[in-house]
Amino acid sequence: MPVPAFLDRDLFAALTARAAQSPRQRSHHNLHEMDEPCHRLVVGLQPDTYIPPHRHLSRDKAESLLVLQGRIGLLLFGEAGELRGTRLLEAGGECVGVDLPPGQFHALVVLAADSVLFECKAGPYRPLGEGEQASWAPREDEAAAVEYLTWMRAQF
């Protein structure tokens, strides 16, 4: 029988320390088995991570995000890359999270070191497919990502 998984300061510290050592500046801790229908994970994030604009097109891929520690900026985009809105998500703040419908282009920018995010969406995991990566934004491995991340951060 599985044991309870606690979302506590020890887990947060371990995740953010691993994120600080990771080239991508983030670290995931899955609370689910890969074959489960509901995927739940905790993510440690550092400010230099780049999460490019993307969307999930499958009708079952709504995505819920809650900030458990730190501050994260949410950017919402239209089809052609126009910025449609921003929202500060902050642990203990006015807004701590968001439930994103399928099809909504979005990106996150980490505004405080050692931020921790809880994410929940339907499984199974599928890499982003055709039309889900924003064609108008740089990919994570492209040199232009640094400049785009700076622009995203400046929106807050």
| Domains identified in the chain and CATH numbers | 9-154 (2.60.120.10)
Residue range 17-46, pLDDT digits in tens = 999 999 999 999 999 988 889 999 999 999
Beta strand residue intervals within 49-132, DSSP E: 51-54, 63-69, 71-77, 83-90, 97-100, 105-110, 115-122
pLDDT for 21 equals: 98
Q: Cα 118 from chain centroid?
A: 9
Concatenated DSSP letters for 18-68?
Answer: HHHHSTTSEEEEE-S-TTSSEEEEEEEE-TT--EEEE---STT--EEEEEE
Whether the full predicted model's pTM is greater than 0.85, yes or no, is yes
Q: Which of 120, 61, 110 is nearest to 89 (CA)?
A: 110
Task: For residue 129, name the pLDDT band (cuts at 50, 70, 90).
Answer: confident
Residue range 65-120, pLDDT digits in tens = 999 999 999 999 999 999 999 999 999 999 999 999 999 999 999 999 999 999 99
Cα atoms found within 13 Å of the Cα of residue 20, Cβ hemisphere only: 10
Q: Are 56 and 65 in contact (CB under 8 A)?
A: no
Residue 126: φ, ψ to 5°: -135, 130
Three-class DSSP category at 143: coil
